[in-house]
Structure 1
Amino acid sequence: MKHIKSHFTFTKQQRSGIFVLLLLILILQCVYFFVDFSSEEFQVNQHDLVQFRAEIDSLKQIKTQNNKPKVYPFNPNFITDYKGYTLGMSSEEIDRLHAFRKQNKWINSIKDFQRITLVSDSLLLKISPYFKFPDWVLNPKPKTQYSYSKNKSPKTFDQKLNLNTATAEQLKKINGIGDKLSERIVAYRKKIGGNFIADVQLQDVYGLSPEVVKRTLNEFTVKNTKPIQTLDLNTATINELVTIQYIDYEIAHNIIEERTLREGFKSLDQLTKVKDFPVKKIDIIKLYLTLNLE
């Protein structure tokens, strides 16, 4: 007990020191509460402050826009469930679009999209600038008016013009034949000796589609063709066969081998069984062959 009491026994100097310390603390507290330490000379430029806040706000908006998912142009016919969700479409609106597309139908305008999906005007205004339709929808080509009629009866042999004397100007009247193709037909005719043997040779002109060939043969046909010397398929030699267009020495050798195995060809169509034979050109090759079965 005496030991504890000794801790609370102070000398005169100690008591004076404690009193001064408490007095100093009290003075500092009064100064803190009653004295204004703010500087009256510091003034804020309100104009600069407004500009600074506006700049901060604009930077925040830019950051917010950059954080949003970017939307690129797209064809609304191919909107998936996820794509529609990101655009803000409801599941019902997406289902209407998919049901329409399952009928093998296409949306070709913004009005069609709203009519099918029933999206709101506000959503349509938001997403329609990103719609991208094919060029043939946006800029349809005008239908060409042709001089011929589909119901027109085919011309007879006498009514058709001679393909062997037709000029480039006459050929250009056929739909699908321009300057280059008409000149190419005339050049090919000269290349094969100045005359077509049969109409089928027109298919051999590079660049002519089957449709254009058909339209050409409705107006032209081979007339007054020069007679050609044909070869008997069952007796022709390799050297004779290679004189025929599209037959080289390898194919000629294969023809002789096939002929030997068959003990003679029974029809010209059996050439399609020959190894490496140009099957697509058989109609032209047959023009130069005959078959003596006796």
Structure 2
Amino acid sequence: MTAADLLVVITDVMLRGIGEIYFPVSFLTITPVCRLIAILISTASTASVWFTVVFTFDRFVAICCQKLKTKYCTEKTAAAVIGVVSALSCLLNIPWCFVFDPEYIMDNIPRGCVLKTTFFTSSAWAAFDLFNLVLTPCLPFILILLFNLLTARHILVASSVRRGLRGRSNGENYKDPEMENRRKSIILLFSISGSFILLWSTFIFYIISPRTANVQYYTASDIESAAFMLQLLSSCTNTCIYVVTQTKFREELKNGVKYPLNKIVTFVKS
């Protein structure tokens, strides 16, 4: 999930955003490269959103479905799910290869990317656009809310029963390690899925409103800038949340930073 978020930052922010502003005439603006960047952005965004859904479902199974937990919450299953989501994200975004035309020609080189006119008139492209809208992010939005509500309900009921039993047997001030683990799990779950819901809400409003108002698209506006800014910001939050809440993640991150430095120091000394 963090890797997918990082790809969104690299492709959308660095290659497209910074490239368009500071390098308006470079290899990044050549139409095939521009088209490839657009496909990578869409693929990374789809993977990032659905990895958040998968994570939410994983926590739901781990907390609420104890019988299914032993079969589903394994490294083998996690690897399979990651592979399937990654492959489907790539396949579902293949049609974007055929939707862009060159914006202009410079020195006999096609540059820039603009949507084909048939994208706005063809019923097939309209169906694809609607399918893409439902798939990312409307359906994930609903699924994350549903799994969070079910998980929260289960935790509240189970915690209430457990506190009552523990209080009668060991006294009210007894510190329950199981309750501490549940508290950490719910904080991590709600931090990641909650930030996704909050940061994507403006973007969902922005892309749904023109369609419900029978408007083809919005022109540049404050809500457009805010929607895309918050959407991109959502790709930065998961890493920060992991750093704050997960000890093992912090340790692996430190090891990843120290490894190349140790190699450089060893090379210099030798």
Question: Is the TM-score greater than 0.5?
Answer: no
TM-score (normalised: structure 2): 0.22
Highest CA radius of gyration, 1 or 2?
1
**Relative contact order, higher structure (CA 8 A, sep 6+):** 2
TM-score (normalised: structure 1): 0.21
Higher helix share: 2
